[in-house]
A = this chain, B = another copy of it.
Amino acid sequence: MRGTTLGLVTALVLTAPVGHVRAAEGPITGFPGEQAAAQRALEARFDAELDANDLREWMRHLSSRPHHVGSPFGREVAEFVADQFREWGYDTEIEAYQVLFPTPRVRRLDMVAPTRFTASLEEPALAEDRTSDQRDEQLPTYTAYSIDGDVTGELVYVNYGLPADYDELARRGVDVAGKVVIARYGGSWRGIKPKVAAEHGAIACLIYSDPGDDGYARGDVYPEGPYRMAEGAQRGSVADMPLFPGDPLTPNVGATEGAERLALDDAPTLTKIPVMPISYADAQPLLEALGGPLAPAEWRGGLPLTYHLGPGPAEVHLELAFNWDLEPAYNVIARLEGRERPDQWVLRGNHHDAWVNGAEDPVSGLVALMAEAKAIGALARTGWRPRRTIVFAAWDAEEPGLIGSTEWGEEHAHLLRERAVAYINTDGNGRGFLSMAGSHTLERFINEVARDVTDPQTGVSVFERRHAQRLAGGDTEDLAGTRDHRINALGSGSDYTPFLQHLGVASLNLGYGGESGGGSYHSIFDSFDHYTRFIDPTFEYGVALAQTAGRAVLRLAEAGLLPWDFTAFEATVTRYTDEVVTLTDGMRETTQRQNRLLRDGRFQQAADPTRRYDPPKAEDPVPHLNFAPVRNALVGLAASAQAHETARQALVSSGDQLSTDQARAVDQILFRTERAMTTPEGLPGRPWFVHQIYAPGFYTGYGVKTLPGVREAIEARDWDEAQRQIVRLADTIRQVATEVDRATLVLEPAGP
């Protein structure tokens, strides 16, 4: 089977047109003149050290046993990685924290009416998957930071369990107060579902994997194919991370041995109700037993049944109890000191803990990071040293809530705010297309990297391949493919969050995917067997990731002047501003229209009187907000960004070099422009999140809200707050522009 596949790959590559072979000859920002060629020569040496077999063997070992935080093999993993770093020449430490990590003592789910059924809550071992039978070391299916509970109640199906879903339930006369809700995975981060359910008075929350989103409707299920089988369930954290991530007992400070801790009862990010994830095999009897209104068409999943909302007659009993223990989390931190600007740190991280064996999540990203570290170590052994310090981090306890990275970031906050140039994150990897997300001051930078990495399947650059995907998918812009790809903004879901959103460190998150879909996520089947059959069998995309993230690290560490670009940042913030203006205008029109329809009785006239569907609620009119402060600040930023660009170009054209001190001074300003995007008081109601441009949504969880202060106030129809946040945002933008101007001043011939 694999033989045929690989044969086909070769054939296609051979017949691919040659017009788009990558041209690794363009300029590289930060490497004027001859320096670009020298840097590319360094990168060629780096590439030569990368070996797919290393990645394979490391993954084989690191995924050979379950290694969640606090597990015996978890500690071995940390020590193995640390030993490797040391062997490769890094100054390596394991920094440990004591973090709250509940594990299940009692898990029981029964349907008690109208018929009886006991959920299995088990993923079965498979002969085709050699690590799936390690029952003794596996965490069972559960969601971390669910509270204990023993409740019985009628069941209600709430679709994805988002706020809008409850609006639809209410219009149908379905109230979840006192009920157990069952939500399907998807539509938001899982932790949003119990949070919103509790806000509506539910007493427990089940979350199941629907085969329409995550099972046979996506493709063949394991072990025939990569997708989630009937008994597969998704573990995960349900802590209220949009409030703050990390250890629930030590917000804002490192969870060191002696740290002051909240009492369990006071920990605000634990769920308010018990939560349990289940498989579609366990969910089907419950959903089949639901009566009540028919679920709206878009709510219906892939099970062979008619989805109803309830409540009842299905009634379920859920009993959950946990060991509320502190467990040690081991971050592995490896440093290679910079030769010229050692107090400028380029950070590169991937977590090492898994829910179970974690071949894909996180090991596939971790082994790319290790390959980078090994290759850079090899370069260093030849006498080369980076201009700036490189720090590799393998985080523990990411899965329960980005804990390892957050605690480290909180403990070393002062130093990191001073020294951290940027943070490059990965978290698992697959086959396909490069995904780039992060700080838009690095958009041009990471596009340059993507133009220089060759896609292993097609021979064109990963930049070109991603562009081809967009064009083949129907995008009509930029047929020539000369413009930079827009990078996505970061919300949350991996270890960049403490760096970007708490410390104001410019961050990037990188990974390949799109051709290796699968349903092993957070299950016992995220295994070496699954990964090497379905995800990246040859590890060629693991190598591509190492080439991509490695280039990013090397260029950030080596550039004479950091490659920050503010024109893309300004364009992006302007686009976000257009979005929130359009959002407000749209809400205003919708509200006007809806209130008119309510007044005219249109909803009653249109409704089927045999099925309850109440009209929507009338809303207060949407005022016109004054966006002028932001618009004016953006005009200033645009000028500053352009002046900075002009000054950089002039410097390059002149062939002049800044003195080391001058360059260092510019750097210090440049990388800390991201700090200027933060405010000390943070976002309304969640001061841990201080970034004013990017934040995870309070009701999306992982999904980003850009210009979060403004956008979430508008979404909440809090117009006074929105107006205050607009003013604050304008201040932030001006603050960034001021920093840019300061850097430009140093660059210009008349500069200091």
State the A residues within 8 Å of B (CB). 5, 8-9, 12-13, 15-17, 19-20, 211, 216-221, 225, 227, 294, 300, 302-306, 432, 457-458, 460, 464-465, 468-469, 471-473, 476, 479, 515, 589, 593, 596-597, 600-610, 612
Contacts and interface: CB of A to CB of B under 8 A. Distances in A.
A597 B16 CA distance: 13
A432 B605 CA distance: 11
A143 B341 CA distance: 81
B479 A217 contact: no
B610 A9 contact: yes
A15 B604 contact: yes
Contacts of A596: 479
B211 A602 contact: no
A19 B457 CA distance: 66
Contact of A604 (B12, B218, B610): B12
A8 B593 contact: no
A8 B610 contact: yes
A538 to B, nearest CB: 11
Contacts of A225: 306
A300 B12 CA distance: 28
Nearest to A593: B476
A306 B221 contact: yes
Given A9-B610, A216-B304, 17 more contacts: A8-B610, A16-B601, A17-B600, A17-B601, A17-B604, A19-B601, A20-B600, A217-B306, A219-B306, A220-B294, A220-B306, A304-B304, A460-B605, A464-B605, A465-B605, A476-B589, A479-B597
Contacts of A603: 468, 472
Ranked 7 nearest A-B pairs via Cβ: A468-B605, A17-B601, A472-B606, A468-B606, A9-B609, A304-B304, A468-B602
B8 A432 contact: no
A83 to B, nearest CB: 36
B304 A211 contact: yes
Contacts of A219: 294, 306
Nearest to A227: B306
A650 to B, nearest CB: 35
A609 B8 contact: yes
A533 to B, nearest CB: 12
Contacts of A476: 589, 593
A74 to B, nearest CB: 34
A9 B611 CA distance: 9
Contacts of A8: 609-610, 612
Nearest to A470: B606
Contacts of A607: 12, 472
Contacts of A600: 17, 19-20, 479
Question: Which of A8, A306, A432: most chain B Cβ within 10 A?
Answer: A306
Contact of A16 (B211, B218, B605, B612): B605
